[in-house]
Amino acid sequence: RRDGNTSYTDDVAVGAAAGIDASVVPGDDDNFKITSAEDLMRATRLLAGASEYRTGQGFDVHRFGPGDHVMLCGVKVPHSHGLLGHSDADAGLHAITDAILGAIAQGDIGKHFPPSDPQWKGASSDVFLAHASRLAREAGAEVTHVDLTLICEKPKIGPHAEAMRARISDILRIGPERVSVKATTTEGLGFTGRGEGIAAQAAATLRFR
């Protein structure tokens, strides 16, 4: 802008001429003013490359055995049977763990916690999920959403679903609104329909920066 014989090159110059104090503060090269068409194109490129989303899937099965409860999603659920497995046989957390590992292309739960290793015998599965979450963060990703489906005739999942969501969100350090836990049956068909075990399938969405 030109005012008489004086040229003002930017807003700071105009403010200074009006007696307004201006200060320099630390900034970011990506936080720039859009003035020209080239600026708009640059902003478009930055937004397009700001993040990438990937989705992983996980599936797990455990058969029923002796016991008076099952561990599902880190929650102790009373039942007429337990679940058999090298760890605590938490099919829900195992499926989510595999989903996250799949999204970051880090194999499966058996690669990181071999069932042949005695140190994992009876281990709490929240250790496995926390490990997958840490690997995701190290890869520059954050878990933005988890969707889990538990497949069984019994026990009933509904009364425990909110506690399961809370436990998963606590392990992953994300809000419970980003965690979905639901259940279905196979209408009496297959091994779950016969009450022989529980299956779980999960999808995890991760954002990479």
Query: Could you tell me the two tokens for 79?
Result: 């039942």
DSSP state of 81: S
Residue 143's SS3 state is: strand
Q: Which residue has the tokens 């110059």?
A: 13
Asked if residues 201 and 58 have their Cβ atoms less than 8 Å apart, the reply is yes
Q: What is the pLDDT of residues 108-137, one digit of tens each?
A: 999 999 989 999 999 999 999 999 999 999
Query: Could you tell me the two tokens for 190?
Result: 């297959």
Of 88, 89, 140, 132, nearest in space to 111 by CA: 132
Q: What is the pLDDT of residues 180-208, one digit of tens each?
A: 999 999 999 999 999 999 999 999 999 99
Q: Where do the structural domains in the chain lie, given as residue ranges?
A: 2-48, 52-208
Q: Can you name the CATH fold of 52-208?
A: 60s Ribosomal Protein L30; Chain: A; (3.30.1330)
Containing 168, the helix (H) or strand (E) segment is helix 161-172
pTM of the model: 0.77
How many Å apart are CA 58 and CA 102, to the nearest integer? 8
